[in-house]
Structure 1
């Protein structure tokens, strides 16, 4: 199943207890302050001190609960208007859960294709949490055709449901090269005596060209 959309701040407040809401208020205020400071002094060197909101990012599960950690971390990234240095730092130094939250928020940040290395790193792992998060809306927009096809194969190989892949139908339609790769993958699995993932037939069907609409003259 596709990842459930992260709740809004209002929805999250309704789910958190009083202490967690107070902690989140403070954390978001620190993130907002960091964003304002960066806007006022864009050339300031922030490499020597970790902004307080980044420490809050790591602690989100402890103070707001593991079920809400992704949502809290996404709000912090958005409030801080996190750029590539912060995203890279949080991803590279974070736990799998912290990395997943970065991946799930990329499409909501104004960073263009700069964060593609983080998606590519996630797709090199066999951690299904990271692979599923990596094939979201950001990947659908920024992965080139070659990378995207291999992301589909990665999902099939690791058992990540292809329903997690954003824009699957649109990007698969008429993709003869993806169809070839799927056929080769299925043949390799069969030759090795291994099961072919059920999702493969679904994706293969999507690669068929869109039906043509007859013109009025024909």
Structure 2
């Protein structure tokens, strides 16, 4: 997803395009204005899923566009402020916006915070494209947390590319624990474990 595609999808669905255009101009001119527009995005743009932006809702898209409209020097500071001060819906919007923003590894503390929560929406959002900035150990623990929480593994960006021997060992250990308790891993976790342990060499790729 790009900023341009997200804006086109939102403009095709938003009930008040004038508000959106004005909000983006205002934020670009005066970064401090983003606070009030960010809070109002759900009310002014709605919360319905966007047909032309799979997985995005209108309020998430509006908030992501507001962040993307900020002057470059203001992005990192306001991204953290709006995440820290936001409710769960606003936090999720910030996390989803991260790949569209020039923040890079500076967003890692926000990803760590989201992964520590018990909110499945935040954990899932933290494992999108921005998760490439997570170190391997943290990333593996986050994937395992998804399995524990029942978060579908298809939310994990680059899962097959990043999954390695260490993750296979962790999943195998969890699988044994579940079996001993008369339970099973979710089907997607079982499939991942099978992929990791059925490589041509008979083992998963090395970390």
- The TM-score with structure 1 as length reference comes to 0.80
* Aligned-residue CA RMSD (Å): 2.0
Describe the superposition over 1:94-113 as per-residue Cα deviations: whole angstroms up to 9, x where unpaired: 01110001101111211120
Secondary structure of the corresponding residue to residue 72 of structure 1: helix
1:76 equivalent in structure 2: 66
2:205 equivalent in structure 1: none
2:200 and 2:179 mapped to 1: Cα distance? 31
1:192 and 1:89 mapped to 2: Cα distance? 43
Task: State which drifts further: 69-78 or 111-120.
Answer: 111-120
Tell me the CA shift for residue 211 of structure 1: 4.3
Larger Rg: 1
Which of 166, 175, 189 is 1:200 aligned to?
Answer: 189
Tell me the CA shift for residue 204 of structure 1: 1.1
* Larger RCO (CA under 8 A, 6+ residues apart): 1
Tell me the CA shift for residue 190 of structure 1: 2.3
Structure 1's consecutive aligned runs of 4 or more residues displaced over 6 angstroms after TM superposition are none
Q: Is the 8 A contact 2:2 2:100 kept in 1?
A: no
Task: State which drifts further: 23-32 or 8-17.
Answer: 8-17
2:92 equivalent in structure 1: 100
1:34 and 1:205 mapped to 2: Cα distance? 52
1:146 equivalent in structure 2: 137
Unaligned runs of 5+ in 2: 49-57, 202-207
2:152 equivalent in structure 1: 161
Describe the superposition over 1:103-138 as per-residue Cα deviations: whole angstroms up to 9, x where unpaired: 011112111201101111111111111111110001
1:180 equivalent in structure 2: 169
The number of aligned residues is 189
User: Structure 1 residues 8 and 155 mapped into 2: Cα distance closer, same or farther (>3 Å)?
Assistant: same
Tell me the CA shift for residue 9 of structure 1: 1.5
Q: Which structure's residues are more often helix, by fraction?
A: 2
1:28 equivalent in structure 2: 24
Tell me the CA shift for residue 8 of structure 1: 2.2
1:40 equivalent in structure 2: none
Q: Is the 8 A contact 2:68 2:75 kept in 1?
A: no
Tell me the CA shift for residue 178 of structure 1: 0.8
